[in-house]
Amino acid sequence: MKRRRSQQAKDMRTLRLWSYDEAHRAVPYLRAVIASLREHWLDVQNQRRRSELLSARPGRPDKATLLASQTVHAHQERAEAHFDDAVEELTNMDVFLLDPLRGTALIPFRKKDDLAWYVYDQFDDRGLSGWRYHSDPLEQCRPLELQESVS
């Protein structure tokens, strides 16, 4: 039993809570990482689709199809590795990907005594499009102006 508790303690880590200024200064870096992450995700989806199309061909695959399938599989694995590396880079910063296609991520901060999240949006000119409490629905996005003046 002690072993299990010890393993749980090793797996736990403290979540870094960001200030608004830190999150705002990180926007250019986040733009680069999330743009890269989004491209890798799209590449993974493209390779998966190509693989599906190759395997959906009727009949027994010929040599060219087998080679194409291997090439697509290798490209897919490489794209997945790049995607995983980018997600890990964000996670190490305590920034959490919400939607790779939309380019949204969540950045934790403390709002009074509650956990809250800045909402990063790749396609918003400001980068930080709003915030939400941890208990809010994922779709909830409160305006930053209110958050900045109340904090």
Secondary structure (DSSP) of 5-41 = HHHHHHH--PPPPPPHHHHHHHHHHHHHHHHHHHHHH
pLDDT at 150: 44
pTM for the structure as a whole:
0.79
pLDDT digit of tens for each residue in the chain (151 aa)? 455 555 655 667 788 999 999 999 999 999 999 999 999 999 999 988 988 887 877 878 788 888 888 888 898 899 999 999 999 999 999 999 999 999 999 999 999 899 999 999 999 999 999 999 999 998 888 998 644 544 4
Distance CA 4, CA 20 (A): 37
Tell me, what DSSP letter sits at residue 82? H
* The residue type at 3: R
Residue range 102-130, pLDDT digits in tens: 999 999 999 989 999 999 999 999 999 99
Q: Is 138 left (phi over 0), alpha (psi -120 to 50) or beta?
A: alpha
Buried b (16+ CB within 10 A) or exposed e, 19-41: ebeebbebeeebeebbeebbebb
> Tokens for 117?
């999240």
